[in-house]
Amino acid sequence: MARLRVKSVRRMRIVDASIMPRVVTANLSAPIMMMAEKLSDRILGKAPLAPSAAAFYRDP
């Protein structure tokens, strides 16, 4: 993982769409919020949540 640090600015990190390997063709709000939540937990050293077993739709 990149450190997400801003050069020459202490204790500042940035999470935005530029770290996405492929930009989605829909609203970017939800994926960016998810990335920010996950990466903020990683920066703070919090353990990740367990995977969900919830059912979801898959296109056949």
Where do the domains of the chain lie? 1-46
Q: Which pair of tokens denotes residue 58?
A: 């898959």
Residue 27, CA distances (Å) to 9, 15, 18, 24, 32 in order: 30, 16, 15, 8, 10
Cα(39)–Cα(30) distance, rounded to whole angstroms?
14
State the pLDDT at residue 46. Answer: 93
As a whole-number percent, the residues of the chain with pLDDT over 90 amount to: 5
- The ranges of the chain with pLDDT < 70 are 1-2
